[in-house]
């Protein structure tokens, strides 16, 4: 453990937390079937959403405790009107381990107009979600006809100088599992890094079905028919297991959250757009930091609340346990 970090960032199982994921909004410009319902989304009430000052204050306390990586997510984080200012303010925070690295997960739709400004503000890397290269399929999957815009967004991020560009795809049986090779080739040809994600039970409609899930093993089986893959060594706390393609430098990663959970090395903690701290995507308890920042709580009180939340963290997500309960919030309201 790095002893410059606040002891409260270490949980009961010795996991040291260094990565804070902040959801900037639960609103989204797409309606991906595995994440949101077509309509009738129960949005967070506006007055419950953290202001930028509140959000930056919580992040500052976390960085001063030793968090050194901040990932912005949502919902669609680029829908937050002041997202460039948020990035600028977060990139200027400083803690015992220096300035945090800022990254973002996005559907890419607003990147054509924002990529340069985001990069200038301190956004060094980006993950763009792209589940298919086919326009009709994209429309069906996201319930919006926006493939061209997402592709333009990826190009804009690349042109801005952000590096690496990672492309995320949730693999789904009978939906896009025939594009695993095409999506990987798309990335190899452009110097992007492909990441396939096993579908998790986090959809708003609670329709997840274990049998429908394409496993990491199945994804690898398809890839090895086309390329020679060499597994990279120690992945640390990274969710993705990464393979070099044909000796590198191109690579492909698989995030097998369900079949090969990586909870034992997890270093992530999440702040929702309405100010609730969650020690795990699947947590059933949250710590109300919004109430604290709206009271006369001190920074020490906030640090103590962050430490207390991490003490509640369970050893694993137990998706495979018969007693598993999906969290009440869908992915879009937690922050993926
Ligand atoms: N809107 C942004 C985007 O789509 O990249 C950021 C938020 S989204 C919730 C973050 C990531 O979670 C995306 O890569 C998305 O594909 C993934 N995701 C959403 N629902 C999921 C699920 N049920 N299982 C696995 N991944 C999921
Ligand atoms: Fe929106 Fe991202 Fe969820 Fe798709 S995965 S609906 S883009 S938040």
| Distance of alpha carbon 246 from alpha carbon 255, whole angstroms | 20
Give the distance (Å) from ligand 2 centre to CA of residue 35.
6
Residue showing tokens 């506006």:
46
Is ligand 2 within 6 A of the CB of residue 28? yes
Closest CA to 140 of 228, 51, 242, 32: 32
The residue whose C-alpha atom lies closest to atom 5 belonging to ligand 1 is 106
- Tell me the per-residue pLDDT of 311-334, one tens digit each, with 9 for 90 and over: 999 988 877 676 777 777 777 888
Is ligand 2 within 6 A of the CB of residue 129? yes
Note the pLDDT of residue 322: 67
Backbone phi, psi, residue 16, to 5° = -95, 125
Domain covering 7-334: architecture: Alpha-Beta Barrel (3.20)
Give the distance (Å) from ligand 2 centre to CA of residue 146.
13
Residue 279: pLDDT band (50, 70, 90) is very high
Q: Which ligand has an atom closest to residue 202 CA?
A: 1
| Distance of alpha carbon 264 from alpha carbon 266, whole angstroms | 6
Strands 69-73 and 101-106: parallel
Note the pLDDT of residue 212: 80
Residue 27: pLDDT band (50, 70, 90) is very high
Give the full edge-to-edge strand order of the sheet including 165-171.
229-231, 241-245, 251-255, 193-198, 165-171, 123-129, 101-106, 69-73, 19-23, 268-271, 276-278, 287-288
State the pTM of this model: 0.95
Output the DSSP codes for 193-260. Answer: EEEEEE--S--TT----GGGBPPHHHHHHHHHTTS-EEE-S--TT-S-EEEEETTSS-EEEEE-TTTS
| Distance of alpha carbon 318 from alpha carbon 315, whole angstroms | 9
Note the pLDDT of residue 240: 87
For residue 126, what are its two tokens? 């980006």
Is ligand 2 within 6 A of the CB of residue 77? no
Q: Which ligand has an atom closest to residue 146 CA?
A: 2
Say if residue 249 is preceded by a cis peptide, omega within 30 of 0.
yes
The residue whose C-alpha atom lies closest to atom 4 belonging to ligand 2 is 32
């Amino acid at each position: 453990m790095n002893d410059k970090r606040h002891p409260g960032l270490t949980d009961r199982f010795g996991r040291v937390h260094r990565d804070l994921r902040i959801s900037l909004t639960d609103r989204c410009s797409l309606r991906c079937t595995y994440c949101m319902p077509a309509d009738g989304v129960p949005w967070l009430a506006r007055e419950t959403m953290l202001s930028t000052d509140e959000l930056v204050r919580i992040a500052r306390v976390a960085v001063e405790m030793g968090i050194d990586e901040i990932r912005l997510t949502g919902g669609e984080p680029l829908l937050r009107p002041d997202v460039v200012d948020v990035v600028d303010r977060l990139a200027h925070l400083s803690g015992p381990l220096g300035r945090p690295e800022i990254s973002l997960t996005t559907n890419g739709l607003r990147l054509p107009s924002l990529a340069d400004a985001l990069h200038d503000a301190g956004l060094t890397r980006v993950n763009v979600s792209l589940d298919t290269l086919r326009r009709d399929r994209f429309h069906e999957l996201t319930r919006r006809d926006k493939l061209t815009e997402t592709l333009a967004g990826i190009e804009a991020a690349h042109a801005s100088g952000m590096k690496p560009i990672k492309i995320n795809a949730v693999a789904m049986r009978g939906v896009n599992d025939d594009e695993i090779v095409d999506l990987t080739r798309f990335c190899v040809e452009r110097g992007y890094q492909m990441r396939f994600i096993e579908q998790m039970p986090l959809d708003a409609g609670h329709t997840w079905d274990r049998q429908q899930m394409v496993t990491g093993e199945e994804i690898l089986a398809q890839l090895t028919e086309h390329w020679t893959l060499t597994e990279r060594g120690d992945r640390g706390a990274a969710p993705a297991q990464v393979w070099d393609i044909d000796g590198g430098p191109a690579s492909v990663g698989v995030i097998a959250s369900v079949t090969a959970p990586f909870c034992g090395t997890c270093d992530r903690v999440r702040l929702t757009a309405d100010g609730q701290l969650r020690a795990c995507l699947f947590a059933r308890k949250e710590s109300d930091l919004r109430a604290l920042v709206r009271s006369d709580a001190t920074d020490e009180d906030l640090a103590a609340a962050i430490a207390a939340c991490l003490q509640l963290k369970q050893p694993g997500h137990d998706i495979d346990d018969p007693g598993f309960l999906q969290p009440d919030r869908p992915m879009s309201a937690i922050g993926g």
